[in-house]
Structure 1
Amino acid sequence: MKSLKISALVLALAAFTFGAKAQTKSTTTPTGPRLSIGADAGIPTGKLSDGYNWNLGGSAQVEFPIANQLFLTVNAGYNNIFGKKDVTFTTVTGNTTTTIKGDVQNIQLLPVKAGLKFFPVNNFYVQAEGGAGFLLNKKDLGYTKSTAFIYAPQVGVLLPLTASSNLDLGVRYEGSTKYADVDGSTLNFVALRVAYSFNL
């Protein structure tokens, strides 16, 4: 199932690339400030995938032109990472090993990021952001930190809708530093963002 999800994301990325090439003859890179509002969906990677299936959320992003084909971005959103059901947990205390079965608590995450978005060719972009991820349910998860550094490289394409609006499709890898002093407390996932983008 996981390989099917990853294959779907790879195919989506390929479609973005071909879409970008198709658009280069008829459209141009945006030149003014823009706002985009969209939905985010993804799949956990690394140790996070042991207890979690997928994530869903939304985000808003403002973009300010700072040079030719280069934009400063500010992005804030919300992600709910859905825990798996009926997972077997094993704990060791001294010489005693305890095994229980239960559901994994969902993670509620508020990411706030800033970065750069560059258009190497018309409508096709690469983007890199960094910032902070705020856990809204740290106590429920048993983590010791409510905030961690997050980073998110991304590629995407703008598909024109009207003269002043686009459909912004992006695929990113989002990672974090640890939310607790134990292995597996980083929140890493691959995500697809589908957003409506328009001139301000």
Structure 2
Amino acid sequence: MKKAINLKTVITAIAIVLGVATTSAQEVKNYDQGFRLGFGLNGGLPLNDPYDFNLGADARLQYDLSQRYSLTLTTGFSNMFVSGDNNDLGYIPAKAGFKAFVLKDQLYLMGEVGAAFAVTNGYNQTSLLLSPAIGYANENFDISLRYEHFNDFPVIKNDVTKDGLGQVSLRLAYGFKL
């Protein structure tokens, strides 16, 4: 009977060792944190008069915290075109944001906040810039739709000049790991 107990003990010990060896042999895939750089073209439709459309280009630096979450810094140049005698409004956006991938690591939601510095045609106003977005990205390409709100850029409502410009914008971009 004593030999049977020893045999059971040995078989149990072997099973435990094999189980631990098999478990620790499995590889855990870690996501490499790091930087990405993207260059985009933007086209927008301002929601207020006197602006007709917006065109611009940007550069975005992104730091991936994990496979799902990233921090972003975005800048570039955009121009709000105006028909008639009014001047166009060119501005440089400077935004910081947070991007969260919500579906299969490709569909994302993003929020950015920053400033828009008017730089052309006599405008010298700096505006608070708020920008929520939804987008789709893969290894190299990014397409997003966003709303932008400029608190301090002039608009015309009921023939009165006020502040508070909104626009809907589409961004097409190419990005890569640094």
Q: CA RMSD in A?
A: 2.3
Equivalent residue for 2:36?
34
Distance 2:107 2:120 in 1: 37
- Structure 1: which 5+ residue stretches go unaligned? 1-28, 86-102, 160-164
- The normalised TM-score by structure 2 is 0.73
State whether structure 2 residue 142 is matched by structure 1 residue 168: yes
Alpha-carbon spacing, 1:108–1:166, altered in 2? closer, same or farther (3 Å): same
Asked if the contact 2:92/2:118 (under 8 Å) is kept, the reply is yes
- The 3-state SS of whatever aligns with 2:87 is coil
Q: Distance in 1 between matches of 2:117 and 2:109?
A: 25
- The normalised TM-score by structure 1 is 0.65
1:67-104 CA-to-partner distances (Å, cap 9, x unmatched) read 4511000000111110013xxxxxxxxxxxxxxxxx22
Kindly indicate whether the alpha-carbon contact (under 8 Å) linking 2:88 and 2:121 is maintained by their aligned counterparts in 1.
no
Between the aligned partners of 1:44 and 1:125, the Cα distance in structure 2 is 23
State the Cα distance separating 1:183 from its structure 2 match. 4.7
**Structure 1 Cα separation of the partners of residues 83 and 52 of structure 2:** 6
CA distance change for structure 1 residues 83 and 30 in 2, over 3 Å: closer, same or farther?
Answer: farther
How much does 1:198 deviate? Answer: 0.8
**1:30–1:146 CA distance, 2 compared to 1 (3 A):** farther
Tell me if structure 2 keeps the 8 A contact 1:44–1:54. Answer: yes
1:149 corresponds to which residue?
Answer: 128
Aligned twin of 2:46? 44
C-alpha distance in 1, partners of 2:35/2:75?
17
Structure 1 equivalent of residue 19 of structure 2: none
Which residue number in structure 2 is paired with residue 100 of structure 1? none
> In structure 2, what is the equivalent of residue 136 of structure 1?
119
1:9 is aligned to none
TM-superposed CA distance for 1:110, in Å, is: 0.7
Which residues of structure 2 form unaligned runs of 5+?
1-30, 155-159
Hey, what does 2:96 align to over in structure 1? 114
Q: Any idea what the Cα deviations from partners look like across 1:164-190, whole Å, max 9, x if unmatched?
A: x4110000000011246x853323210
Alpha-carbon shift at residue 33 of structure 1 (Å): 1.6
Structure 1 CA distance, aligned partners of 2:169 and 2:88? 17
Identify which of structures 1 and 2 has the higher relative contact order when contacts are C-alpha pairs closer than 8 Å and 6+ apart: 1
Superposition map of 1:44-193 within 5 A: 44-45=46-47, 48=48, 50-85=49-84, 103-121=85-103, 122-137=105-120, 139=122, 141=123, 146-159=125-138, 165-179=139-153, 183-193=161-171
The runs of 4+ residues in structure 1 deviating greater than 4 Å are: none
Structure of greater Rg: 2
| Alignment-derived partner of residue 162 in structure 1 | none
Aligned-partner Cα distance in 2 for 1:106–1:147: 15
